[in-house]
C-alpha cells in the first residue's frame, strides 16, 4: 500500500500535478516525501508549514530558516522545546537573527541562560527585562558579579521606580559590595521618601549595618 501511494505521487509530480502529489502523501502520513517535493520546487517555506503542522518542529524550523523566515523558525524551535528544552537556545538565536531582541530575551530567560541575558540585556539596554529577571536571587547574583560599575550605574539610572524593583535593590546591594552601586541607588531614591523607606526596610545583616553607617 505504501509503495502504491509513493508511485501515485511520483506520477502526479511527473505530470506537474505536484499539489495533488503533496496532498496525497501528507494525508497518508508520508510527511518527508511531501516536503521533499516542495524542497525540489525550491519553496522551503511551504515545506516548513507541512513539517510544522505534522509535529516535526525541528525540520520545520530548518526549512523556515532556509527561506529566511527566522521568526517562524524560532517559533517552531519553541514548539520543539516542549519535548527538549535545549531547543529554547536555538529559538533564542533565531529570534536574534530575526532582530526580535525582546523575544530572544524571553526565551533565554526561560532556561536561565544568564550569560546571554546579560549580554543582550545590557547591549540593547533592556533594563526593565533585566530587573524582572533579577528578581530571582540566583539570576541577580550572576548578573551582578559579571557587569562593570558603569553598566550598573546606567542600569539603575534608567530603571523605573517600581516598588518591586526598589525592594529587589535591597537584595542586589548584598550581592554586589560596591559603594558606587549603592550610591547610585541612593541617588535614584533621593526625594522619594516612601520608596527609600521600603528599600531600607528590607536590608538586614552585617553588610547592611555597614551600609547604614557608610
Distance CA 191, CA 175 (A): 25
Owner of C-alpha cell 529577571 = 133
pLDDT, tens digit (0-9, with 9 covering 90-100), for 135-153: 999 999 999 999 998 999 9
Three-state secondary structure call for residue 25: helix
What the block records as the C-alpha cell of 25 is: 502523501
The confidence band for 42, taking pLDDT boundaries of 50, 70 and 90, is confident
Q: What pLDDT score was predicted for residue 210? A: 58
What the block records as the C-alpha cell of 131 is: 530587573
Handedness of CA 144, 148, 152, 158 (dihedral sign): negative
The confidence band for 157, taking pLDDT boundaries of 50, 70 and 90, is very high
The confidence band for 14, taking pLDDT boundaries of 50, 70 and 90, is very low
Q: What pLDDT score was predicted for residue 53? A: 94
pLDDT, tens digit (0-9, with 9 covering 90-100), for 24-35: 676 677 788 888
Task: Please provide the distance, in angstroms rounded to a whole number, between the alpha carbons at the two ends of the chain.
Answer: 83
Q: What pLDDT score was predicted for residue 143? A: 94
pLDDT, tens digit (0-9, with 9 covering 90-100), for 51-77: 999 999 999 999 999 999 999 999 999
CATH topology of domain 60-111: 1.25.40
Q: What pLDDT score was predicted for residue 12? A: 43
pLDDT, tens digit (0-9, with 9 covering 90-100), for 119-131: 999 999 999 999 9
pLDDT higher at 205 or 4: 205
**pTM above threshold 0.85:** no
* pLDDT value at 132 more than 60: yes
CA atoms within 13 A on the CB side of 210: 9
Distance CA 141, CA 174 (A): 9
The confidence band for 201, taking pLDDT boundaries of 50, 70 and 90, is confident
12-21, 151-160, 170-179: segment of lowest average pLDDT: 12-21
Amino acid at each position: 500500500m505504501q509503495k502504491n501511494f509513493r508511485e501515485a505521487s511520483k506520477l502526479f509530480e511527473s505530470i506537474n500535478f505536484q499539489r495533488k502529489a503533496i496532498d496525497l502523501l501528507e494525508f497518508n502520513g508520508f510527511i518527508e516525501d511531501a516536503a521533499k517535493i516542495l524542497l525540489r520546487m525550491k519553496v522551503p517555506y511551504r515545506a516548513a508549514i507541512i513539517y510544522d503542522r505534522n509535529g516535526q518542529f525541528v525540520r520545520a524550523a530548518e526549512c523556515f530558516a532556509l527561506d529566511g523566515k527566522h521568526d517562524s523558525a524560532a517559533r517552531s524551535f519553541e514548539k520543539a522545546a516542549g519535548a527538549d528544552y535545549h531547543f529554547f537556545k536555538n529559538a533564542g538565536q533565531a529570534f536574534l537573527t530575526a532582530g526580535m531582541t525582546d523575544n530572544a530575551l524571553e526565551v533565554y530567560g526561560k532556561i536561565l541562560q544568564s550569560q546571554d541575558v546579560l549580554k543582550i540585556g545590557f547591549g540593547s539596554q533592556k533594563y526593565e527585562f533585566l530587573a524582572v529577571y533579577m528578581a530571582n536571587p540566583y539570576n541577580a547574583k550572576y548578573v551582578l558579579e559579571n557587569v562593570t560599575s558603569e553598566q550598573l550605574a546606567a542600569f539603575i539610572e534608567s530603571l523605573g521606580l517600581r516598588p518591586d524593583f526598589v525592594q529587589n535593590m535591597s537584595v542586589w546591594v548584598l550581592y554586589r559590595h560596591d559603594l558606587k552601586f549603592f550610591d547610585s541607588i541612593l541617588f535614584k531614591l533621593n526625594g522619594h521618601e516612601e520608596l527609600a523607606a521600603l528599600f531600607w526596610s528590607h536590608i538586614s545583616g552585617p553588610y547592611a549595618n555597614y551600609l547604614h553607617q557608610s
